[in-house]
Amino acid sequence: MTQWYVNELSKLTKVSVRTLHHYDKIGLLKPSIRLANNYRSYSEKDLLKLQQILALKFFGFELSRIKTLIQEEINIYDHFRAQQKFLEQKVKSLQEASQTLELILSESDSNKSVPWETILKLIEDYNMTKELEHPWLAKVLNSDELREYAHFEQSVKTRFTESQKKKLEQEWSDLIAQVEANLDKDPSSDIGNRIGKQCMDLVNSWWGKKHAALRTAIWQKGYQEGKMEVDPPLSPQVVDWLDKAIADYYRNRAYNILSQVETQPSDRVLMQWEELLEDMHGHDQALNDAFYEIALKDDHVSTAAKNWLKKISK
């Protein structure tokens, strides 16, 4: 069986000795053969492992992720698909930067002053986005959503103190524990409605109305599709149960409001309806319009309530 000292493996693979020592130090690739003179050397299996590391590095995987991929029994193709989307997003971001520079050049006069304010704003957006370029974000957000998330994350630093953030994180952990303890219950039960309300109260306090569409996108494309890497982790069963509980909570709330159309003043019902839409979707008119269309097709909504909805939408 062929074996190599570190300098020999370095010459063979064109990987520096310093890099191989680093891989050894972090537990990514350790020489597996211990010789009689107490020196260590690399085996053919180690060489194969190094080739895997180099291939994954070429595709942009971080070393911590590579260590997980080559040590655990997991479906690496799922990670390839996620990384491919991540790289697509990076390409798109670079293309956008190139197009923006092209636009600046086409609209600027070389004899006039450079539009530094515009350029600095572009650099600021780029830097914020770059800081957030992690695989789980690339799996979830498109370029516009990623940019909005960057701004949202900046706003969190000013809206909450560290103690407030820790309190919200603990409340979220407690909520997930409640869901796990009630997975055998019907999410449309009273318990489900209570947890659904508690969840959305917590979510809205964190995201605010302004970013309602963004958090909806993250929930739908991230949590529901199992692509979010969060702590505590959410199992598909928890996500499915919570999703149904939230939907039923809002559905019951909508039914209750619309049932008052014939018995309560229109302005009072309208105020409740607008509060519901704001809680659900913030200021996203597209999501509100979609909910409006669903209500018009719902057999549980009375004809009078549907006529009222048509009236207020004009």
Shared-domain flag, residues 11 and 84:
no
Last residue of a domain, one of 20, 40, 71: 71
* The total number of structural domains that make up the chain: 3
Shared-domain flag, residues 84 and 65:
no
b/e for 249-288, b at 16 or more Cβ within 10 A?
bbbebbeebbbbbeeeeeeebbebbeebbebbbbebeebb
Shared-domain flag, residues 66 and 82:
no
Shared-domain flag, residues 172 and 295:
yes
Shared-domain flag, residues 185 and 277:
yes
Q: Exposed, middle or buried by CB within 10 Å (0-12, 13-18, 19+), for 308? A: buried
> The domain that contains 49 carries what CATH number?
1.10.1660.10
Q: What is the pLDDT of residue 125?
A: 60
Mean pLDDT of the chain: 84
Q: What is the pLDDT of residue 16?
A: 92
Residue linked to tokens 């809206």: 159
Does this model's pTM top 0.85? Answer: no
Distance of alpha carbon 205 from alpha carbon 208, whole angstroms? 6
What tokens were used for 230?
């969060």
Shared-domain flag, residues 19 and 66:
yes
Q: What is the pLDDT of residue 265?
A: 94
Last residue of a domain, one of 159, 192, 223: 159
For residues 139 and 20, the model is more confident at 20
Is residue 1, in this structure, part of any structural domain at all? no
The pLDDT confidence band at residue 261, using thresholds 50, 70 and 90, is: very high
The pLDDT confidence band at residue 276, using thresholds 50, 70 and 90, is: very high
Which range of residues forms the domain containing residue 178?
162-312
For residues 181 and 134, the model is more confident at 181
Last residue of a domain, one of 29, 51, 71: 71
